[in-house]
Amino acid sequence: MTGRSIVGGRLLTARATRVIAASPGAAQVAPDGAAYTQATDFSPSAQANLAGGNSPAWHGQSADEAGHANAAALSGIKTQGFDGSGHNQLVFDDSDGQGRAQMASTQAATQLNLGHLIHQADNYRGSFRGTGMELRSDGYGAVRGTKGVLLSTYSLSQAEPAADATAVGALLSQHAQLAEAMSQAATTHQTVPLAGHEGVAQANASQLNAKAAPLKALRQSAVDTVSSDNFDAAAPSKAEQAVPHSADALTTIAGRGGIGAIAGQSLHVAAGETFNLGSGQHTNMAVGNQLRLHASQAIGLLAGAHKANGVGLNLIAGKGALNVQAQHDTLALRSKGDLKLVSANAAVEMAAKQKIHLATSQGAFLTIEGGNLTFGCPGKLMVQAGNHKLVGAAQLSPKLPIFPDNVCIECLMKRAAQRSGFINKGA
């Protein structure tokens, strides 16, 4: 019958091979610790017991070789798999100034390491790996919190509640204030306001809170509190206090020094209601190939909302054509100052199916309509030319663009339902 060994405790009497050399005739012989020098971060050594069995995974009788001079500093429990191929262990390391705890399983190399992080191979304390916490596995990992999850690099004193999100609330307040200012500026300059501040389906409402727009609702939920009545049994002294806790099942990630989301392939971000992106200074996008921005309703672009810096809005095609179309409505180009149309090396062409009308605020105008050309002015008409010719009638028929007549609504609905970029209309 195969036995199942469990090792536990701190003070052990086992003695490893080759530590105390044989000394016949009371001769003085130095201890031989050469066996310990073979240990590495991933491979123990000198574990064989003189009695022919096995020394415990960690033991106190060690020579002074590096890594093994830890007399009784290691303790815990280690089990052995029934098939002999794996084990689980709970290790406590009380070395001076290097306290450490490890809960580990050889299954998928799954470990939780706390404190002074080192490599350990049974009794061998290996090289330094850092300090803090490490949760790792070669298998699948998941973090779940039904009431919410908070990941933060903002420090808290031990006296503060675990779910305190004061820093998160401050950042969300700044973001909400920025969004409010930009949304008001967008309304002033007659472009699309921000749904995160105004509301989506209706004003001042969101899926998170029926009485608050998305950004305001998010902040209120992130810094909310719950009654301490639910915790009286565990902490009677807190009976009159409220405990910080998100009001909804939020996943909140806050980085004091920044957050990096890096993907070797694709990075996908999806939101069921609104996606808000804001920065106190600059937002940059660098694309190696193509940038596509599609909206089923409106796109609003506003520059110089509060303070012009001489740049304004630059829309430049370094190579290739710049194509601007209003396929089913008016295209308006308006300027408080000069409006310039310049072609450096070719022509400027203007064509219309019905009429071209040029006019000034003083009353002079030029109208090209149908087959007629009409000049008009309240003042003087001056024509300057080296030669004047009035000849017979002539006609030029410009080539006008053809726009799509409609949008396949059925295709859009199928694509939304299937979350696919391509739809077969016959499917």
Residue 74 lies in a domain: yes
Residue 229's pLDDT is what? Answer: 66
Residue 37's pLDDT is what? Answer: 67
Residue 221 lies in a domain: yes
Q: How far is CA 246 from the centre of its chain?
A: 20
Residue 59 lies in a domain: yes
Query: Do both 109 and 176 map to the same domain?
Result: no
C-alpha to C-alpha distance for 15 and 33, rounded to whole angstroms: 12
Lowest-pLDDT range of 211-220, 240-249, 316-325: 240-249
Query: Do both 101 and 177 map to the same domain?
Result: no
* Listed residues 254, 274, 307: the one ending a domain: 254
Residue 367 lies in a domain: no
Residue 57's pLDDT is what? Answer: 72
Query: Do both 137 and 170 map to the same domain?
Result: no
Look at the pTM and tell me if it is higher than 0.85.
no
Name beta bridge partners: 268.
none
Query: Do both 30 and 101 map to the same domain?
Result: yes
User: How high does pLDDT run on average in the chain?
Assistant: 83
| Confidence category of residue 1, pLDDT binned at 50, 70, 90 | very low
Residue 150's pLDDT is what? Answer: 93
Name beta bridge partners: 85.
none
**Inter-CA distances, 178 with 104, 136, 215, 305, 323, Å:** 47, 39, 11, 12, 32
Q: Provide the number of structural domains found in the chain.
A: 2
Query: Do both 132 and 202 map to the same domain?
Result: no
pLDDT digits (tens, 9 = 90+) for 10-26: 444 344 444 555 556 65
C-alpha to C-alpha distance for 190 and 195, rounded to whole angstroms: 15
Query: Do both 117 and 13 map to the same domain?
Result: yes
pLDDT digits (tens, 9 = 90+) for 35-85: 666 677 777 766 554 444 455 676 655 545 555 556 568 888 989 889 888
Query: Do both 10 and 105 map to the same domain?
Result: yes
**Inter-CA distances, 116 with 103, 125, 340, Å:** 14, 11, 68
Residue 378 lies in a domain: no
Mean pLDDT, range 396-422, rounded to an integer:
71
Residue 87 lies in a domain: yes
C-alpha to C-alpha distance for 263 and 357, rounded to whole angstroms: 54
pLDDT digits (tens, 9 = 90+) for 113-159: 999 999 988 877 889 999 999 999 999 999 999 999 999 999 988 77
Residue 180's pLDDT is what? Answer: 96
Query: Do both 95 and 208 map to the same domain?
Result: no
Query: Do both 122 and 172 map to the same domain?
Result: no
Structure tokens that stand for 316 in this block: 């430049």
The share of the chain scoring above pLDDT 90, in percent, equals 56
Residue 106, classed as helix, strand or coil, is: coil
Using the predicted structure, report yes or no on whether residue 222 has a pLDDT greater than 80. yes
Residue 385 lies in a domain: no
* Listed residues 254, 284, 316: the one ending a domain: 254
For the beta carbon of residue 408, count every other beta carbon within 10 angstroms: 12
pLDDT digits (tens, 9 = 90+) for 398-409: 888 888 877 667
Residue 426 lies in a domain: no
172 and 222 Cβ atoms separated by less than 8 Å: yes
Structure tokens that stand for 1 in this block: 């019958």
126 and 67 Cβ atoms separated by less than 8 Å: yes
Residue 110's pLDDT is what? Answer: 97
* Listed residues 254, 277, 295: the one ending a domain: 254
- Range(s) of the domain holding residue 49: 6-142
Structure tokens that stand for 334 in this block: 């308006």
Residue 46's pLDDT is what? Answer: 62
Query: Do both 115 and 172 map to the same domain?
Result: no
Using the predicted structure, report yes or no on whether residue 185 has a pLDDT greater than 70. yes
Name beta bridge partners: 365.
359, 376
pLDDT digits (tens, 9 = 90+) for 279-336: 999 999 999 999 999 999 999 999 988 877 778 889 999 999 999 999 999 999 999 9
Range from 2-6, 195-199, 393-397 that averages highest in pLDDT: 195-199
Query: Do both 122 and 203 map to the same domain?
Result: no
Structure tokens that stand for 396 in this block: 């030029």
Using the predicted structure, report yes or no on whether residue 4 has a pLDDT greater than 90. no
| Confidence category of residue 90, pLDDT binned at 50, 70, 90 | very high
Query: Do both 136 and 169 map to the same domain?
Result: no
